[in-house]
Chain A
Amino acid sequence: MHGTMEQHVGGTTKLFMTVWIALLVLTGIEVFLSYMQTPLVIMLVALMGLSIVKAALIIGYFMHLKFERFSLFLTLIPMLVFCIILLFIFIPDAMRALGLRPQ
C-alpha cells in the first residue's frame, strides 16, 4: 500500500445496519406509494425522489464515497448528474410524438 493511499476503513457494523434498515423502509414506502391513487407525475416525482435518497445512501456509505477525499466526489458525481440531466433534453419531444399518434 502506498503511503498516501491509506486504506479507508469507513463505517461500523452498526452504521451499515442502520443504512440497510433505512433502505428497506424506503423500499416499503415506495411499494405503498405505488398503490396510492395519485396522479402519474406526482407518483413519478415521489418515487424518483425516494430512489435518489436510496442511491445517495448506497453511494455514500456502502460504496464509501463519504469516506473518500472530496476531490474524488467532485470529479465523478457532478459530471454524471450533468450528463443525466442533458439526456432529458429529448423528453419534450415525447409530447410531440404523442400528438402524432392517430387518435
Chain B
Amino acid sequence: MSSDAKAGTLTSVWHGGGSPYAVDSKKFGMWLFVISDALTFSAMLVAYTYLRMATPNWPTPFHFSPSIVFSTVMTLVLLSSSLTMVMGVHAMNHDNRKGAVGWLVATMVCGTAFVVLHMTEWMHLINDEKVTPFGNPWNEPLFGATFFGITGLHMTHVTIGVIYLGIIAFGVGRGKFKPIDVEVSGLYWHFVDLVWMFVFPLIYLMSVKM
C-alpha cells in the first residue's frame, strides 16, 4: 500500500486524518487546561464538603442582605458575561471584528463588576462579621480558610480572564487574531462561569442564615 493510500485509509477511519478530534490544537490545549483546572476546583470543593461534614457546628453566616443578594447578583452578572462572550465568538466567526470587540468589552465589564461585588462582599465579611482566613467568631477557623481559599482562587481566575480578554479584544481590534483565538479565550471564560455554578450553591446557598 502506498503512503498516500495509507493516509487515505487513516483519514476515513478517523474522519480527521492527523486531527481525530477535528479541532484546532489551541482549542484542544485549552480543553485540556480546563479539565485539569476543573479537577483542581473539584478537589477543593470535595475537601470543603469533607470539612463541613466533619464539623458539627459549621457556621451559616450568610444573611439574605447583603451576602445572598450580592452573590445572586454576581451569579447573574457572570451568566450574562457568558452570553456576551458567546456572542463575541459568534460575531468573530461571522467576520464581524467590531462587533466581537464590543461583546468582548461587555464581557470584561461584567467580569470586573463580578470582582468588585465579590471584594465588597469580602470586605463586609472581614469588617462586619469579623471573618478572616484564620479565625471567626464561631471558633471554626477552617470556615474562613475554605471560604477565602475557594472564592479567592475563583476570583483570581476571573481577574486573569478579564486581562486575557483585554489582550484578545485589543488584538482583534487591531486586525490580529483569528476566530479560533477568540473561541479559545471564550472556553476559558465559560469555564470560570461553570466553576461558579458549583461554588455559589455549595459555599453560599448551603450556608444561608435563616
Question: B54–A69 contact, CB under 8 A?
Answer: no
Question: A31–B82 contact, CB under 8 A?
Answer: no
Question: B22–A31 contact, CB under 8 A?
Answer: no
Total interface residues on B, using CB and 8 Å?
A: 59
Residues of A within 8 A of B23 (CB): 5, 68-69, 72
Q: Which of A13, A37, A88 contacts B90 (CB 8 A)?
A: A13
Residues of B within 8 A of A31 (CB): 68, 72, 205
How many residue pairs between the two chains, A and B, have CB atoms under 8 Å in the bound complex? 152
Residues of B within 8 A of A72 (CB): 21, 23, 28, 31
The B45-76 residues at the A interface (CB cut-off 8 A) are 46, 49-51, 53-56, 68, 72, 75-76
Minimum CB distance partner of B188 in chain A: A63
Does B87 lie at the interface of the complex (its beta carbon under 8 Å from any beta carbon of A)? yes
Residues of B within 8 A of A98 (CB): 53-56
Question: A4–B79 contact, CB under 8 A?
Answer: no
Residues of B within 8 A of A91 (CB): 46, 49-50, 53
Residues of B within 8 A of A54 (CB): 197
A-B contact pairs, 18 of them (CB 8 A): A4-B11, A4-B19, A11-B90, A13-B90, A24-B76, A34-B205, A35-B210, A37-B210, A48-B198, A48-B202, A55-B197, A61-B86, A71-B21, A76-B35, A90-B50, A94-B49, A95-B53, A98-B54
Residues of A bordering B, CB below 8 Å: 1-2, 4-7, 9, 11, 13, 16-17, 20, 23-24, 27, 30-31, 33-35, 37, 40, 43-44, 47-48, 50-51, 54-55, 58-59, 61-64, 68-69, 71-72, 75-76, 79-80, 83-84, 87-88, 90-91, 93-95, 97-98, 101
Using A34-B206, A69-B21 as known contacts, list a sample of 14 further A-B pairs with CB atoms less than 8 Å apart, ordered by residue number in A.
A5-B22, A6-B22, A7-B180, A9-B90, A27-B72, A30-B201, A34-B201, A47-B206, A48-B198, A58-B82, A80-B39, A91-B49, A94-B51, A97-B50
